Structure 1
């Protein structure tokens, strides 16, 4: 039985492995950011493995770019590695300001439009 239930708290997702579409481990789910006024998930923060060749460690990615794979208790980031490599990245979790509207614009510009949880 999967540890990923159909309904979960955000804290339960912390540490879930994040893999590429080919199954290559990229890192772990660090955080899930929710628009408080709407209750919708805005984006996820993925912490890449330290040994990653991508450079910075923390990436904000649109929630819609993720698919949960309960058969393997993991999350699949459905973007090419090149797209992630060029995405906005941050050296630490503290450097990522989830409330900054410029972050949402950067994500929209990079990954394409997705529904804003803040709207």
Structure 2
């Protein structure tokens, strides 16, 4: 198991804590659908919503963001928030995600609604979002690459 690293410096994905291990795959490799609906708990212990989507950067093959669904009823009045994947910690014991910012900070983020998503491929939007969560953009963690221009590893070519 990984240890909790609030700055995400030890890896390029979500951290994992807790002793919860079930049958089958996980927690290191899991189907994204098994994480949909997991609650998100802030640094001050508040349940602020649930993961509604996990967004994949198709070109790099990396998870870019989790989308937090906050408030609303039956999809009405729901505010969505993109959270950088590296800002999350999967707590396997509690079966939730933890984010190391306060609930008020998430509520202060205007977010978006289901009919007006931001352009998540926009680098300036991504930079602002990662800065908000005090994280390095996931695409800058691979030396010598830029977003959308990830080269295959030499030891993996031909597989």
TM-score range for the pair, normalised by the shorter chain length: 0.7 to 0.9
Distance 1:90 1:30, change over 3 A: same
The structure with more radius of gyration: 2
Shift of 1:88: 4.3
Indicate conservation of the 8 Å contact 1:28/1:49, yes or no.
no
Matches for 1:3-22 after TM superposition, within 5 Å: 5-6=26-27, 7-22=29-44
* CA-based RMSD: 2.5
How many residues are matched?
Answer: 115
Counterpart in 2 of 1:82? 104
Counterpart in 2 of 1:23? 45
Worse-matched range after superposition: 60-69 or 32-41: 32-41
Counterpart in 2 of 1:96? 117
Indicate conservation of the 8 Å contact 1:88/1:107, yes or no.
no
1:83-111 deviations in Å (ceiling 9; x for gaps): 2123240122x322333334313303422
Counterpart in 1 of 2:138? 116
Q: Normalising by structure 2, what TM-score?
A: 0.60
Secondary structure class of the residue paired with 1:38 = coil
Secondary structure class of the residue paired with 1:105 = helix
Shift of 1:37: 1.7
CA distance in 2, matches of 1:72, 1:99: 32
Which segments of 5 or more consecutive residues in structure 1 lack a partner in the other structure?
A: none
Which segments of 5 or more consecutive residues in structure 2 lack a partner in the other structure?
A: 1-19, 140-145, 148-159
Counterpart in 2 of 1:46? 68
- Ranked by relative contact order (alpha carbons within 8 Å, sequence separation 6 or more), the top structure is 1
CA distance in 1, matches of 2:95, 2:35: 10
Task: Give the structure with the higher percent strand.
Answer: 1
